[in-house]
């Protein structure tokens, strides 16, 4: 395995932007991949995967490299050297690798791999919180699974095609997919590929959406002709899934506080031929009050810590702070209280997060049901998805029925 200078320089530049400037890894990677049009798929794969790997294992690699933030360019090269040695690369005769302590790197890796916070490359506070909420054994399994690279999973847009047809279309493009039985709209790529460049994507035959996320819309039990409100729609992955399940019949009101997110959803909806969506910006309590007692189904895909999707967003480990989690739990309960008033008697609400913490999930439902407004609801069922059990994102969803 050889290292190519221009690719490695791009990686060095990128990790400095992420670590020192606080830029988001996905945006930095997207920018990096546009740097040289002559790069082939193998080059692009190296750049993207190497950046994400170094971000994922930041604490372990920086401990071995004996460097601290803010990182100098020399520090970044030391971190990269650790990555290259542990990945089995023969270091080329470049000045950056002079006197690279290969044996010491391997020795330190063996030592640190016995300590979970280094082995899994997580902050002390996150390790302590995980143990407190999930217990030693479960947390150890889950954080190990969260450090695996996320698979590319598609959701078939059944407004335009079937899973069988899309599977065949992609096969003709040499993109092999698996059709998992328990996820009827999902196709899992056997190998990573840039599916966004395909005509199938441009024609709206699919969206990229994790298998766990694909469970939420069916869990809500949406049907054609219903009035459904997606209260925290964002860029609309679940909104579009609901439109598909509803066969474009009925109405979905997609709400969010960010206009930029709604613009993204409008573009995606047009590509998907999802025409039963109405868009509303949440400008205050009046926006919510106008919808009180009006919906058959309400989805509350609440803002959360994101501790169920670390494999997809590894820089979460370094951006997230314990204070944010405490604050977001208050927001979650307030959203549950406010947005659940939108559903009519006899209708259903789903509260969902991409967190694995009981304090953001089961405990929030318990607190809500014990509240004055929560007395109007009956708990039907919940479903917790853990990465170490499924290989997919960590997720939680609870189904409630309004009874009075």
Question: pLDDT tens across 227-240, in order?
Answer: 999 999 999 999 99
Looking at the structure, do residues 28 and 53 belong to the same domain, yes or no?
yes
Looking at the structure, do residues 285 and 318 belong to the same domain, yes or no?
yes
- Could you say which of 166, 192, 208 is where a domain stops? 208
What gap in Å lies between CA 224 and CA 231, rounded to an integer? 19
Is 136 inside any structural domain?
no
Looking at the structure, do residues 182 and 310 belong to the same domain, yes or no?
no
Looking at the structure, do residues 374 and 251 belong to the same domain, yes or no?
yes
pLDDT digits (tens, 9 = 90+) for 168-177: 999 999 999 9
Q: State the total domains in the chain.
A: 3
Is 119 inside any structural domain?
no
Looking at the structure, do residues 322 and 219 belong to the same domain, yes or no?
yes
Q: What's the CATH code of the domain at 389?
A: 3.40.50.150
What gap in Å lies between CA 348 and CA 298, rounded to an integer? 6
Looking at the structure, do residues 83 and 103 belong to the same domain, yes or no?
yes
Residue 43 assigned ligand-binding role: no
What gap in Å lies between CA 346 and CA 402, rounded to an integer? 5
Looking at the structure, do residues 349 and 264 belong to the same domain, yes or no?
yes
232 is catalytic: no
Token pair of 330 as six digits: 């208050």
Catalytic residue, candidates 233, 354, 386, 398: 354
- Could you say which of 175, 208, 241 is where a domain stops? 208
Is 357 inside any structural domain?
yes
Q: What's the CATH code of the domain at 159?
A: 3.30.70.1170
Contact between residue 354 and residue 57 where contact means Cβ atoms under 8 Å apart: no
Is 144 inside any structural domain?
no
pLDDT digits (tens, 9 = 90+) for 57-108: 999 999 999 999 999 999 999 999 999 999 999 999 999 999 999 999 999 9
Residue 46 above 80 pLDDT? Answer: yes
Looking at the structure, do residues 289 and 306 belong to the same domain, yes or no?
yes
Looking at the structure, do residues 256 and 177 belong to the same domain, yes or no?
no
- pLDDT, position 1: 76
pLDDT digits (tens, 9 = 90+) for 310-365: 999 999 999 999 999 999 999 999 999 999 999 999 999 999 999 999 999 999 99
What is the pLDDT averaged over residues 287-306? 97
Looking at the structure, do residues 256 and 364 belong to the same domain, yes or no?
yes
Residue 301 assigned ligand-binding role: yes
Looking at the structure, do residues 47 and 171 belong to the same domain, yes or no?
no
Looking at the structure, do residues 200 and 277 belong to the same domain, yes or no?
no
Domain that holds residue 107: 5-114
């Amino acid at each position: 395995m050889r290292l190519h200078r221009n690719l490695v320089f791009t990686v060095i530049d990128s990790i400095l932007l992420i670590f020192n400037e606080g830029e988001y890894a996905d945006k930095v990677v997207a920018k990096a991949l546009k740097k040289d049009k002559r790069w082939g798929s193998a080059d692009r794969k190296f750049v993207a995967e190497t950046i994400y790997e170094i971000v994922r294992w930041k604490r372990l690699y920086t401990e071995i490299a004996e460097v601290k933030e803010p990182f100098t360019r020399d520090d970044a090269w030391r971190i990269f050297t650790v990555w290259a040695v542990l990945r089995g690369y023969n270091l080329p005769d470049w000045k950056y690798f002079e006197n690279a302590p290969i044996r010491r790197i391997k020795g330190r890796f063996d030592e640190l791999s016995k300590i979970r916070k280094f082995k899994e490359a997580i902050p002390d506070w996150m390790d302590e919180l995980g143990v407190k909420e999930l217990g030693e054994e479960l947390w150890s399994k889950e954080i190990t699974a969260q450090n695996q690279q996320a698979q590319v999973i598609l959701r078939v847009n059944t407004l335009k095609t079937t899973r069988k047809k899309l599977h065949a279309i992609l096969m003709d493009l040499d993109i092999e997919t698996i059709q998992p039985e328990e996820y009827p709209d999902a196709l899992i790529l056997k190998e990573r590929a840039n599916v966004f460049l395909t005509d199938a994507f441009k024609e709206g035959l699919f969206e990229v959406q994790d298998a766990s996320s694909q469970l939420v819309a069916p869990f809500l039990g949406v049907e054609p002709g219903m009035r459904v409100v997606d209260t925290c729609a964002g860029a609309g992955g679940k909104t579009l899934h609901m439109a598909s399940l509803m066969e474009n019949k009925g109405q979905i009101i997609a709400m969010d506080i960010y206009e930029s997110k709604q613009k993204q959803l409008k573009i995606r909806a047009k590509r998907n031929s999802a025409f039963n969506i109405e868009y509303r910006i949440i400008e205050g309590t009046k926006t919510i009050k106008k919808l009180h007692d009006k919906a058959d189904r309400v989805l509350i895909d609440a803002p959360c810590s994101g501790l169920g999707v670390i494999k997809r967003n590894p820089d979460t480990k370094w951006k997230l702070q314990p204070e944010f989690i405490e604050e977001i739990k208050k927001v979650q309960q307030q959203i549950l209280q406010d947005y659940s008033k939108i559903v009519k008697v006899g209708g259903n609400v789903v509260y969902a997060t991409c967190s694995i913490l009981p304090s953001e999930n089961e405990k929030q439902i318990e607190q809500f049901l014990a509240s004055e407004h929560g007395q109007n609801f009956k708990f039907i069922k919940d479903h917790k998805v853990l990465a170490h059990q499924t290989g997919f994102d960590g997720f939680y969803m609870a189904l409630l029925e309004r009874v009075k």
